[in-house]
Structure 1
Amino acid sequence: MSDTLTDPLLGRLVDGRYLVRECIGAGGMATVYLAFDKRLERLVALKVMRAGLGSDLDSSEFTARFRREAKAAARLTHPGMVRVYDQGIDGEISYLTMEYVEGENLRQRMNHEGCLTLGEALTVTEGVLDALAAAHRQDLVHRDIKPENVLLDEEGRTKVADFGLARAVTEVTSTSTGTIMGTVAYLGPELVSRGTQDARTDIYAAGILLYEMVTGHQPFTGDSAIEVASRHVHEDVPAPSESVPWLPPEFDALVAQLVARDPDDRPMNGAAAVTMVRQARSLIDDPTLDRRADPPSGAILLTGDDDDATTVFDPAPAGATVVLPIGLGESAFAPVSVGAEMIEDDPEAREPVAPQRRGLWWSGAILAAILVLGGVAFWWYNSVGPGAFTTVPAVAGTQQDAEQVLEAVGLVTETEFQFDDDIADGTVIATDPAGQTQVPNGALITIIVSKGPEMTAVPALVGSNQDDATAAITEAGFEVGETEEKPSDTVPKGEVLSQDPESGETVRHDSAISLTVSGGPAPVSFPDVVGQSEADAQATLGEDALVVSVKRERTDDQPKGIVFKQDPAAGDDGIRTDAITIWVSDGPPLVDVPNFVFDAVDEAVQNAKDVGLIPELRARWPFSSRDRIADQSIAPGTDVERGTDIVLIYN
């Protein structure tokens, strides 16, 4: 029977916008369809909540909670999350539209590849935790992390789906029914036993996910969901190396932290967990990261494209969503006895055959003969044969001295040179084997001769910053000596001014290198230059290497060429090379000379004084009447400095 006949949603236009094309997945809470958004003309993933989720509940409460969680998920814009575009209700259908990701989910990847390499598993886990970190920063908990909700796009990037859906459903169902919906293999103990959850519940699920990717199986199995849940509550997750012995202890420690039964022992959120994953990866070598565990015993990867083949499904798939009671306390999940299944790891192994007792007497006789002959041979070898021993004499002094002593007793010598900080160049340090050791005659003795202390060229440090210089000293094997700070007008603060020993010198490898580091310009108090000439002010300010900016203005405060103002003010604190502005007087302000002609003499004199001129009266004729001004020495409209003399001539 075709899907069109069995699924009434196929071909339907949901909410007048989304044309359903095909079913691409189904779970305990929802079914996912590939749909075409006719409004925006793009493919989307349409997630339709399972019919009956809220049938026994207040439908308005379910709708409100569903919308709230969908809106919260839509606010998340991390590249590692499947984007939520829209949500709505169309009749009995509650739906979400989300980004359609081309690729496969993690469950599919594990089904056709078996175990992932350690490096790929850590990369996927890091991507999941990075996305969770963004959600946790907004106080959102995913609560249903499992392989089915981890998507891998065609470029191998990780995307996490279904943010908020488990919480949206559980908030309603747990209130009315006392149950919780979730994937039992990944539920945190605190969620199972007490119904409580936070960011650490997501971390637990991510840890189980990592365990499963590397080992190829989940840590706990059972005949029922309640049995698996009980094991999560009462048992610690076993170390992955119990299943895959070559896994390093750093990986075991990482998984143990992520899946600790007590939430307080786990990382607080996704960001903290990401940091732990990256630290663990940095401690594992590349060959180990590239290694992949063998599939667990009994695991068979199904391949082939025979659509007519009969497929047998597990009654409870690994990623199935189930209903469990919550809030009943740990007593509701008493430990369940789980039978252990003996697995034959080596099918070619055979049980050893019990030894037969025939011929025991002859075996004993032959053994006795061998022992007697061996004893005689041992005596001959150590007494007169080539295996006779010689005591290595203790040697000292030069290489030649040591060779003469050793060769005199029939030993063969070779020389090895080593650096030594305490023994002079050319002097014997020791022998191998050491002196007073018993060795066969003619044995080879290595004479270890000192090359003196190792000498190393001092690296160039001047011009680098202090941190880089210190790192370079340590990397070259030297000691970091004293560091002195000196002020400098030209070298930035923290940059190395000089070093001792200097660059290129060859010194002992354990020598200390001292640094002189720039402290930047020295502090100064701005001097008072008001009242000084421009040249004197420049000289005074130059003593502190201050950068002087000169402005010229006309003023009565100071004579021309004299500083009448400065900024910063005298006494302010600063540093050498700071900028300072001084104002130099360009003389008194200019006055626009009025026209005094025809003005009364006394009035003209007063007006001249009012504008800042100094008037002088002169008569044009010896017998002038001193009545009106007839002429003036400066033409009207001329700009002159205040205080300029002007002659007013009267008739």
Structure 2
Amino acid sequence: MMSESDEEIAARRIGTSVGTWTLERLLGIGGMASVFLGRRPDGYVAAIKILHPYLQDISELRKRFLREGPIGSALAAVGPLCEGLPAVYESGVSEDGAAFMAMELLDGETVFERMARKGVLSVDEVLRIAHKVLDVLVVAHAFGIVHRDLKPENLHNGRDGRIKVLDFGIARVDTLPEGTAELPEKTATKTGVAIGSYEYMAPEQAMGKNQELDGRTDLFALGATMFRLLGGRYVHGDAENALLLVAAATRPAPPLATIAPHIPAPVCRVVDIALAFHKEARYPDAATMRFDVYSLRAGKTPPYATAVAEGRIRAGDRPPR
């Protein structure tokens, strides 16, 4: 007897209830979950993510899925982050044992989908995306939360122009704002195991040095995303699978200007600093990179990248306040 496809399994859920939500129709199917349009008795609608049945018994995947909601909710509660994170209304386990999450219904497309249609994006658009992502990272990193999987697939571009950072499921969390709910049991992160997406992975992450990851690891991933959106290729070209992981762990990123010579030099300098092989030579924190990106968007020179280029400060050092 042939096993059911994801589509067939999802179709059987339509009309059933999960938590307080009735599933009305299927919105899409991803690698880990199916997404439905759900409606509460009061008429409120949300996107309901349900982990695929054949993944429910894989302990590590299930834990990661269940952690995404509480992390996003905690961050959204502490300040001007509501624009940068989708609202999470409910998460948990349904009566039939399915892990689920009810979240804001987003209208638009992922940055990956936009990239797939257009190939490369304009400098102005990439800087706008980076600026909004850095708004989220400034707060996340202040609480010791490292996303670990920033990439175009995890950035949503709304029809209203808002950028949302998705999928905190594999984030490393040191602490959370006081008064927020406890996370489900942490996943086991083993030294020597690379977790994340190889195309956007910092060297220390590719080497499995999970205890050494910090906010600068996310800045590398954002730099790699900007590199792909502006240059039309990944940092390590067409390398795949094991070869890609080896390249990520051992090869410095090429200067953006060698791939996309039409990109203005100040923009290239910002991306190159974010992509420094050694994290000690990257931007010291998300706030410093955000100010450089803000300056570029305002038509000014990026102060930190310019000071590095002129030898007035060493890359990685904190700027004088």
The TM-score with structure 2 as length reference comes to 0.76
- 1:268 corresponds to: 284
- 1:245 corresponds to: 261
Q: Which amino acid aligns with 1:117?
A: S
Indicate yes or no: 2:197 matched with 1:183. Answer: yes
Indicate yes or no: 2:89 matched with 1:85. Answer: yes
Indicate yes or no: 2:215 matched with 1:195. Answer: no
**In 2: Cα distance, 1:25 partner to 1:187 partner:** 25
Q: 1:245 to 1:178 in 2, by over 3 A?
A: closer
Identity %: 27
Indicate yes or no: 2:126 matched with 1:121. Answer: yes
Uncovered stretches (5+) of structure 2, i.e. residues with no partner: 173-182, 302-321
Contact 1:166 1:181 in 2 (8 A): no
**In 2: Cα distance, 1:119 partner to 1:139 partner:** 30
State the 1:274 CA deviation: 0.6
Q: Which amino acid aligns with 1:108?
A: E
Summarize deviations over 1:286-325 as a string: whole Å, max 9, x none.
Answer: xxxxxxxxxxxxxxxxxxxxxxxxxxxxxxxxxxxxxxxx
Q: 1:274 to 1:223 in 2, by over 3 A?
A: closer
Q: 1:9 to 1:70 in 2, by over 3 A?
A: same
Summarize deviations over 1:173-209 as a string: whole Å, max 9, x none.
Answer: 535x974542111122111211232211111111011
Summarize deviations over 1:208-244 as a string: whole Å, max 9, x none.
Answer: 1111111112111345322112112211111122122
Indicate yes or no: 2:149 matched with 1:144. Answer: yes
Contact 1:32 1:45 in 2 (8 A): no
**In 2: Cα distance, 1:270 partner to 1:208 partner:** 15
Equivalent in 180, 189, 199 of residue 174 of structure 1: 189
Contact 1:170 1:180 in 2 (8 A): no
- 1:236 corresponds to: 252
Q: How many residues align?
A: 279
Write the mapping of 1:345-364 to structure 2, written as runs, cut at 5 A.
none
Equivalent in 12, 17, 31 of residue 16 of structure 2: 12
Q: 1:50 to 1:226 in 2, by over 3 A?
A: farther
Contact 2:72 2:85 in 1 (8 A): no
Uncovered stretches (5+) of structure 1, i.e. residues with no partner: 285-651
**In 1: Cα distance, 2:284 partner to 2:51 partner:** 31
**In 1: Cα distance, 2:192 partner to 2:56 partner:** 14
Write the mapping of 1:262-301 to structure 2, written as runs, cut at 5 A.
262-281=278-297, 282-283=299-300
Q: Which amino acid aligns with 1:192?
A: A
**In 2: Cα distance, 1:173 partner to 1:101 partner:** 31
Summarize deviations over 1:364-404 as a string: whole Å, max 9, x none.
Answer: xxxxxxxxxxxxxxxxxxxxxxxxxxxxxxxxxxxxxxxxx
Write the mapping of 1:151-550 to structure 2, written as runs, cut at 5 A.
151-167=156-172, 172-175=187-190, 179-193=193-207, 194-196=209-211, 197-281=213-297, 282-283=299-300
Contact 1:174 1:180 in 2 (8 A): no
**In 2: Cα distance, 1:128 partner to 1:54 partner:** 31
Q: 1:49 to 1:178 in 2, by over 3 A?
A: farther
Q: Which has the higher contact order (CA 8 A, sep 6+)?
A: 2
Q: 1:16 to 1:43 in 2, by over 3 A?
A: closer
**In 2: Cα distance, 1:141 partner to 1:26 partner:** 23
- The residue matched to 2:161 in structure 1 has which SS? coil
Equivalent in 112, 135, 142 of residue 130 of structure 1: 135
- The residue matched to 1:85 in structure 2 has which SS? strand
Summarize deviations over 1:464-485 as a string: whole Å, max 9, x none.
Answer: xxxxxxxxxxxxxxxxxxxxxx
Summarize deviations over 1:490-530 as a string: whole Å, max 9, x none.
Answer: xxxxxxxxxxxxxxxxxxxxxxxxxxxxxxxxxxxxxxxxx
Contact 1:140 1:164 in 2 (8 A): no
Q: 1:190 to 1:18 in 2, by over 3 A?
A: farther
- The residue matched to 1:174 in structure 2 has which SS? coil
**In 1: Cα distance, 2:185 partner to 2:272 partner:** 28
- The residue matched to 1:104 in structure 2 has which SS? strand
**In 2: Cα distance, 1:114 partner to 1:155 partner:** 22
Single out whichever of 110-119 and 41-50 deviates more from structure 2. Answer: 41-50
- 2:309 corresponds to: none
Q: 1:169 to 1:105 in 2, by over 3 A?
A: farther
The structure whose residues are more often strand, as a share, is 1
Q: Which has the larger radius of gyration?
A: 1
**In 2: Cα distance, 1:96 partner to 1:195 partner:** 27
Q: Which amino acid aligns with 1:183?
A: S
State the 1:9 CA deviation: 3.3
Contact 1:254 1:280 in 2 (8 A): no
- 1:76 corresponds to: 75
The structure whose residues are more often helix, as a share, is 2
Q: 1:14 to 1:181 in 2, by over 3 A?
A: farther
- 1:334 corresponds to: none
Write the mapping of 1:567-646 to structure 2, written as runs, cut at 5 A.
none
- 2:38 corresponds to: 36
**In 1: Cα distance, 2:266 partner to 2:193 partner:** 37
- 1:644 corresponds to: none
State the 1:37 CA deviation: 2.8
Q: Which amino acid aligns with 1:86?
A: E
Single out whichever of 274-283 and 213-222 deviates more from structure 2. Answer: 274-283
Single out whichever of 39-48 and 95-104 deviates more from structure 2. Answer: 39-48
Contact 2:45 2:105 in 1 (8 A): yes
Contact 2:256 2:272 in 1 (8 A): no
Q: 1:231 to 1:58 in 2, by over 3 A?
A: closer
- The residue matched to 2:75 in structure 1 has which SS? coil
Contact 1:53 1:169 in 2 (8 A): no
- 2:26 corresponds to: 22
Q: Which amino acid aligns with 2:8?
A: L
Contact 2:66 2:100 in 1 (8 A): no
Contact 2:56 2:98 in 1 (8 A): no
Contact 2:66 2:169 in 1 (8 A): no
Q: 1:190 to 1:236 in 2, by over 3 A?
A: same
**In 2: Cα distance, 1:171 partner to 1:223 partner:** 32
**RMSD across aligned C-alpha pairs, in angstroms?**
3.1
Q: 1:147 to 1:11 in 2, by over 3 A?
A: farther
State the 1:54 CA deviation: 6.5
- The residue matched to 1:86 in structure 2 has which SS? strand
**In 2: Cα distance, 1:51 partner to 1:260 partner:** 41
**In 2: Cα distance, 1:269 partner to 1:231 partner:** 25
